[in-house]
Structure 1
Amino acid sequence: MKRNVILVILAGLSLLLAQVALSQNESTGPSMVELWQKSGHANPQSSSFTHWNDEGEIPVSCAACHSGEGFRAFHGIDGSSVGVIDKPVATGGVVDCATCHDDGVKQLEQILFPSGAAIAAHDGSATCLTCHQGRQSGPDLDQRTTGLPDDEVNSELSFVNPHYALAAATLFGTEVKGGYEYPGRDYAGKFSHVEAYSTCIDCHEPHSTQVTLDNCTSCHKVDELRDIRTSKLDFDGDGDVTSGIYAEISALHEKLLSAIEAYAETVSEAPIAYAKQYPYFFHAETEPTYANRYNAWTPALLRAAYNYQFIGMDKGAYAHNPHYAVQLLHDAITDLADRTNATNIEIGPRP
């Protein structure tokens, strides 16, 4: 009898221990390293890391964000001068663990943006802010065009590319002036969200970089992030106020390209086309090669094209700062439309 009782107790304990072990395994899930290995940051075959393989080293102007070694050198974490990279950085690296976890990263108090604005680095955001801020800013456009007639082609002007994956520049809006902001207009600052989801790693799993989707959809009651919408204003002028804000921004983005094409044909008198390869704007009906890059820029056209690219290079602009995105697109469209007396491009109100 006692033996049977003991066996029952042991069986129960074994089952309990198995359940605990299973629960722990399910709760821990993939390790940090496994999550990181699935991210673009860890992909050694990505063009972000292989682009300079033929040269054998990464240019000092690019190395801060295209290798962990370069990042640590740029911020002086390796003992070198702060804000510059004073030695070549070899290819073959990725955004490694130390890029975010080195003790020196925790000591970074602020990050400078291309406009010169300094943003406080907290809650593990220093690495994100450094490498997702773009390479240009709105004020750079003013520096290139000050004193030039807005609607005259100038052969010395060339397209200004804001760079890629510039979520931080979108997020902080006019505080860092990542987009071109038209004179006399007000622009949104940092996108205000609930406190629990106000930093990069509140919304993105820091190792895989994937968006923590359930945290968004459970509150907003939608199936997809792109369906989120809180404003009832019809920004793109199509009469639909039920689609997600992503659809509004996408429609305005398309309308800006139409305005750019109309302006180039009527004012610059040189039709323009866009392609998803460097340097992005080309003479229409030509092969998209560097030799055929667009070169009939006016200051007004250059500013609008910059904003078109700025929004296009942040695929999450609708989540990072939707009001700033709509404002940049709206103002660029209306500026070009006014200059061409266009009446065929309809948009809605500006936030």
Structure 2
Amino acid sequence: MRKQSAFSLITITAAACLVLLTGSEPARAQDSVDAPEDGTEIPFALPQAGPFTPAEISIDNNKAISDWFRSAHADAAAEAFRHWDEDEEIRPACATCHSGEGFRDFHGLDGTQAGMVDGPIEPGGVVDCGTCHHSGLAEIETVTFPSGLNHPVTGVEASCMTCHQGRTAGTDVMAAIADKPLDTTDPSLRFINPHYATAAATWLGGYGGAGYQYEGQDYSGRFFHARPVSTCNSCHEPHTLEVAFEPCLTCHQADSPEAIRIARQSYDGSGNTSVGIRSDIAANAARLMDLIEAYTAEVAGVPVVYDGGRYPYFFTDANGDGRADMTDGKPVAYDAWTPRSLRTAYNWKLVTADPGNFAHNPPYALELLYDSIEDLNTAMGGEALDILR
């Protein structure tokens, strides 16, 4: 043991003398040195990361980012963001809301002309942070709806109103069926699709003009909820997109948003007022679809079937077996529309395209459904309706 210690002491002393004599320093792995002429790479030793692990490092807005990452807005694999993969470019009309880059392009937040997508916009983007947090949103004063309405907005409201307004308005249906016999099939007519997740269109009601609004009828306008629950973000957590139900309990005694009822009368003829108003809307929507199917079979002479998973959603069912007719392996799009069936099917799709219609504007949804039901019921000589408008 003593021999080993003595040997170590001699070795250390000799090394120290060598350093003093040569004036050199011990080589460090991080020192810059010339690479050997033969091209051999010199390995470098990495220093320790420090006293912290990545999980311990505080990140600003970490929770908000995590919540957003798990939401539908960030689901980069969803059909809403991958639909154009084969085309390798998102159509300009779609890019505004199916890509954060497209949204900024449309509103001129990227320095381009506002009101159009200059593109090209490649698929793969999502509703990213810049869609709702861009400083330029403060400069957007109005958002134009398909009806032509210029609705005033403030800040992030511009994002919600732009992308949840739908793609069409009742005026589009009016233009398509103008001066045509109501109950005569017309092969030039095609289903007019209001799109989906049309919360903003529902919310503005008759003021926004999203639905086909019958002449001589009055329609509820924008649905004003009691403050402070009066904006998109006051109901929906902006990153998770989930509904904050607890504030509802201040005024509503219910177990869920779907169970909230805003009226003491029954609109669907059931007389049941113990369920949420959502139940009345769903029942009347189902009744309208039954009438559309009956009308197309009995009046138009060509039955229709609905398939929400395939565009354009309404297909021919000539043999009445409840399934779409197929040609070359593809379903046959319905082409026996009459002006009456087209406008009622449009209203049905608009109402059902917004799963939150019972909260966004239940009066408007019920009015569109009632008028459409009455329209078909009258054409088919049905009995007096037992539902309310």
TM-score between both structures, scaled by the size of structure 1: 0.89
| Alignment match, 2:31 | none
CA shift for structure 1 position 85: 1.0
Q: Does 1:253 align with 2:302?
A: no
| Alignment match, 1:115 | 147
Matching of residues 40-79 of structure 1 within 5 Å: 40-79=72-111
CA shift for structure 1 position 55: 1.2
**Equivalent-residue separation in structure 2 for 1:37 and 1:218 (angstroms):** 31
Instruction: Output the amino acid matched with 2:68.
Output: W
| Alignment match, 1:287 | 324
SS of the aligned residue for 2:223 comes to coil
| Alignment match, 1:191 | 223
Matching of residues 77-116 of structure 1 within 5 Å: 77-116=109-148
CA contact (8 A) 1:73 1:80 kept: yes
Higher mean displacement: 163-172 or 222-231: 222-231
| Alignment match, 1:270 | 302
| Alignment match, 1:324 | 364
SS of the aligned residue for 1:87 comes to coil
Q: Does 1:303 align with 2:343?
A: yes
Output one character per residue of 1:228-285: Cα deviation in whole Å (capped at 9) or x when no partner: 0121121111121221100000000000001101111111011111111211111223
**Equivalent-residue separation in structure 1 for 2:124 and 2:155 (angstroms):** 29
Output one character per residue of 1:3-28: Cα deviation in whole Å (capped at 9) or x when no partner: xxxxxxxxxxxxxxxxxxxxxx9xx9
**Equivalent-residue separation in structure 1 for 2:221 and 2:257 (angstroms):** 22
Instruction: Output the amino acid matched with 2:269.
Output: G
Q: Point out the structure with the larger helix share.
A: 1
Q: Percent identity?
A: 42
TM-score between both structures, scaled by the size of structure 2: 0.80
Change over 3 Å in CA distance of 1:248–1:288 after alignment to 2: farther
Change over 3 Å in CA distance of 1:30–1:316 after alignment to 2: farther
Instruction: Output the amino acid matched with 1:281.
Output: F
Q: Which of the pair has the greater relative contact order for Cα pairs under 8 Å at 6+ separation?
A: 1
Output one character per residue of 1:106-162: Cα deviation in whole Å (capped at 9) or x when no partner: 211110000100111125210000000000000100010111111110010011110
SS of the aligned residue for 2:184 comes to coil
Q: Does 1:149 align with 2:186?
A: no
- The alignment covers a number of residue pairs equal to 323
CA contact (8 A) 2:137 2:155 kept: no
**Equivalent-residue separation in structure 2 for 1:63 and 1:121 (angstroms):** 21
Task: List alignment gaps of at least 5 residues for structure 1.
Answer: 1-24
Higher mean displacement: 284-293 or 331-340: 284-293
Change over 3 Å in CA distance of 1:287–1:230 after alignment to 2: closer
**Equivalent-residue separation in structure 1 for 2:159 and 2:252 (angstroms):** 29
SS of the aligned residue for 2:342 comes to helix
**Equivalent-residue separation in structure 2 for 1:222 and 1:121 (angstroms):** 31
Question: Which one of the candidate residues 353, 359, 384 is aligned to 1:313?
Answer: 353
| Alignment match, 2:63 | 31
**Equivalent-residue separation in structure 2 for 1:317 and 1:123 (angstroms):** 24
CA shift for structure 1 position 207: 1.1
Change over 3 Å in CA distance of 1:280–1:288 after alignment to 2: farther
Change over 3 Å in CA distance of 1:288–1:178 after alignment to 2: farther
Instruction: Output the amino acid matched with 1:94.
Output: V
Change over 3 Å in CA distance of 1:105–1:288 after alignment to 2: farther
| Alignment match, 1:244 | 276
RMSD: 1.7
Output one character per residue of 1:308-345: Cα deviation in whole Å (capped at 9) or x when no partner: 100111000000000000000000000000000123x8
Change over 3 Å in CA distance of 1:30–1:348 after alignment to 2: farther
Matching of residues 106-255 of structure 1 within 5 Å: 106-122=138-154, 124-255=156-287
SS of the aligned residue for 1:119 comes to strand
| Alignment match, 1:10 | none
SS of the aligned residue for 2:315 comes to strand
SS of the aligned residue for 2:196 comes to coil
Instruction: Output the amino acid matched with 1:337.
Output: N
| Alignment match, 2:34 | none
